[in-house]
Structure 1
Amino acid sequence: MDSYKSLIHKIEPSQTLWVYLLTMIMATGCVSEPVAWEQMKQMNNPSYIDHVGASETPESIESTRKKQKQDEENKKVALANQIYQQKLAEEEYNKKIKSGKYPFIAVLTCTLGVSTQPPQFCFYPNDFGFATTFELQNGSFYKMYQYIDLDQAGYGNYILMIPLENSFKITTQNSNNYALLNLKIKDSSTGKIIFEKSAGYYGIISVKN
C-alpha cells in the first residue's frame, strides 16, 4: 500500500493546494486520516484527472473565449464613452470660464499620503457609518452634495474644479480618518490662489465671498 508521503510526492503541482487543504481539515478532526488518504489517492488516479478536465469541452472553451472577447469590446466602448464625456465636460467648463461670469474656481481634492484619490473618498461613510457633505451656495444656486453625486458639483475626476460666481459660500467636512480634504479658491483669470485649507478627520472647511 502506498504510504502517505509517497502519495503526496505523486500529486501534481497543481493539486498541492488540495493536499494542503485536506491536511489542514484532517488536523481539525473534520476529516479522518483514512478519508484524506483516499482523497489523495483519487487525485493521483489518471481517470480522476481526466474526469476533472472533461468539463472543459471545445464548446465551453470557445464560449469562454467569446465571452472574454465581448468583455474586452465592452471595456473599449466604455472607455471611449468616458473619454467623450470628459471632452464634453472640459468644453463646457472652458466656456463657463471664458464667459466672465465665474471669476473664481474652487479646486477640491482628497489626498492620501502622496497620492490623490477621487474626492468622494473623503466623503464616504467611515467605520462608524457617518458620511459627510459638500454644501455649495454659488450665486443664486444652492445644493448640498453627498458622495454619490459629488461629481455633479463640478468638472474632473481626481481633481474637482467648480466655477464660482462672485458671490459664493462653501462648507464641507472630511469623513476619512486617513486622508486629507483640500480646498483651494483660485482667480480664474490669473490662476492665483486666494484661499487654501486642508482638513483632517471630521475637520471642517468653510469659505465665502
Structure 2
Amino acid sequence: MFFAVVQTVVPPVARAVWRPEVVGVENVPRTGGVILASNHLSFVDSVVIPVVVPRKVVFLAKKDYFEGTGVRGTLQRAWFEGLGMLPVDRDDTKAAMASLDTALEVLGRGEAFGIYPEGTRSRDGRLYRGRTGVAHLALSAGVPIVPVGLRGTQELQPVGATLPRLAPVSVAFGAPISPAGYDGVPLGRARRELTDTVMAAIAALTGQEEAGDYNNRAPDA
C-alpha cells in the first residue's frame, strides 16, 4: 500500500520541482519484463528514473538503507520500499550473486528492473566499461534492454549531499536492444558483445567520454 502512495505522490511532485527533460520514454515497454540500463552519476539516479517512467521500476539498494532503527529507520525503510527498491549486501560476494537471481525473479514477474552496468557511480563524469551482469539478465530472461542516458544528476545530488537540490536534469531512453540476435553465439562472447552494445548506446545518449576501463567502487559509494 505504501508503494501505491509513494508512486501516486512522489512522481508528479518531483517532476513539478525538478522539471526534468525527458526524451524517448515511449521506448520503454508499458508491460512485460524489461531492463533499464543506465549510466550512473548520483545516488538520486534511482529516484529520477522511476519518477519519469510510467511504470514501476525495481532497483537494488544497499541493505544499510533498510536496517535503520527507531522512527527515522522505519521511515527510511518504508521510503525505499515504497520506491520499489530491494536490499542487497554489496560487500558479500554470495549475496551479490544472489541479487542476479532476485533480478531474474523481478523480470519473470513481468516487471521493469533498473541496473547500472558500470557497477558504481562515476566520480569523474566519464562512462566506464559495462560489467556483463546486464547481458546475463537479458539473455537468461529473454527480455529487451532499454539504454538510459542521465545528465545533470551529479549536480542534483552531488556525492556527500544529504538531500537533492535544484539543477537541470535530462533523461533519455534509447531504442530497446533485443538479446535474440545472440542466439547461437558462445555465452561468454554474447554477454560481452551485448554489454558493449548497450554501453555504446548509453554513450550516444549522454555524450560522455568513455573511460575504456572498469570503475572501482569507492568506500562510500
Superposed pair shares fold, TM > 0.5: no
Greater strand share, 1 or 2?
1
> Which of the pair has the greater relative contact order for Cα pairs under 8 Å at 6+ separation?
2
